[in-house]
Homo-oligomer: A and B are copies of this chain.
Amino acid sequence: MAKQPIHITLFGGGNVGTHLAKNLFKLSGVRLQQIYNRHLSNIKSFEKQTEIIDDLSQLKPADLFILALKDDVIVSFSKKLKDFDTLTVHTSGSVPMIALQTRRKGVFYPFQTFSKDKPDLDFSNIPIMIEAETEQDLQLLKTLADSLSKKVEIVNSDQRKALHIAGVFAANFVNYMYRQAENILQNNDLSFDLIKPLIIETAQKVQNLSPAHAQTGPASRGDMKTIEKHLDFLTQKTEFELYKYLSELILKDRNNL
């Protein structure tokens, strides 16, 4: 007997939902049978590929409900699905699985930064974190995740939160450092283009080397003279204070070695 495809209904028309839908449509073992959104206009681009709905009474029986919703509406929305026996997962990094108000709960968290600017995002290199309450539900999620990505991990809600926080450091705060660089360059009539190769190289370096070993710069070599020269040069308050604070932290780490 041929294996049945996994019947999925996706909820949400935001970044994660849109990218996820595009990738789910490519899978032979999956039937993305419905996409729900409060406003049909947000999911209209999918109407040729599947049924789009804005009314929960239209829901068909499914193996999996995926709630690709904003953190602050996941819990309240899940209440509306509390009478279904369908495994229901959210895609958030910071909402505990247990917060879901459905009978069967799980998490399906693709760990990547999603932006609308990128029309196509290949999931095969995006780590997916899964969690469920029963071995059977976990197996369903693992089958799905394995068919989307080469990197699937079973993690609990605390670990997922830790990963999310690590992501804030490695992506959001990193981007904030890029912004400081951009400001400094602009204020000195220099193009941000000049620093782009350095940004790529710095990211590539830690693909093979622990960041603890990849640390370079004036603070990591205890070069107080350069640090002072740089602080003299920085006139904007935020840049000055940030440079000082981070250099002190790196110097302290250095002294603790």
Contact residues of A with B, CB < 8 Å? 71-72, 94, 111-113, 115, 117, 125-127, 151, 153, 155, 158-159, 161-182, 184-185, 187-190, 192-212, 214-220, 223, 225-226, 229-230, 233-234, 238-239, 242-243, 245-246, 249-250
Contacts of A246 in B (CB 8 A): 173, 176
> Quick one: closest B residue to A165, CB to CB?
B230
Query: Does A205 lie within 8 Å of B172, measured CB to CB?
Result: no
Residue pair A178, B245 in contact (C-beta under 8 Å): no
19 more A-B residue pairs beyond the given contacts A163-B195, A168-B218, with a C-beta to C-beta distance below 8 A: A115-B205, A117-B208, A126-B197, A159-B190, A163-B188, A169-B180, A169-B184, A169-B243, A171-B198, A171-B217, A175-B205, A175-B206, A175-B214, A175-B215, A176-B249, A178-B211, A181-B211, A192-B211, A200-B207
Ranked 7 nearest A-B pairs via Cβ: A172-B217, A203-B203, A178-B211, A162-B188, A166-B181, A170-B181, A179-B211
Kindly list chain B residues whose C-beta atoms are within 8 Å of the C-beta of A72: 225
CB of B165 within 8 A of CB of A243, answer yes
Instruction: Out of B127, B173, B176, B188, name the residue touching A194 (CB < 8 Å).
Output: B127
CB of A112, distance to nearest CB on chain B (Å): 6
Q: Across the interface, do B71 and A175 meet the contact criterion of CB distance under 8 Å?
A: no
Q: Are B167 and A173 in contact (CB under 8 A)?
A: no
Q: How far is the CA of A216 from the CA of B162 in the complex (A)?
A: 18
Whether the Cβ atoms of B226 and A194 lie closer than 8 Å is: no
Q: What residues of B have a CB within 8 angstroms of the CB of A193 in the complex?
A: 127, 151
| Cα distance, A68 to B225, chains bound together (Å) | 19
Contact yes or no, A250 B212, CB < 8 A: no
Which residue of chain B lies nearest to A218 when distances are taken between CB atoms in the complex? B168
Instruction: For A187, list chain B residues within 8 Å (CB).
Output: 162
Q: Which of B165, B172, B197, B242 contacts A220 (CB 8 A)?
A: B172
Contact A199 B206 (CB under 8 A): yes
Q: Do the beta carbons of B113 and A190 come within 8 Å of each other?
A: no
Shortest CB distance A209–B (Å): 6
Q: What chain B residues lie within 8 Å of A206 (beta carbons)?
A: 175, 178, 192, 196, 199
A220 contact set on B, CB distance < 8 A? 172
Are A243 and B168 touching (Cβ within 8 A)? Answer: yes
Min CB distance A51 to B, Å, is 31
Interface centre among A165, A193, A210, A245 (most CB of B within 10 A): A165
Report chain B residues within 8 Å CB of A162.
Answer: 184-185, 187-188, 190, 233
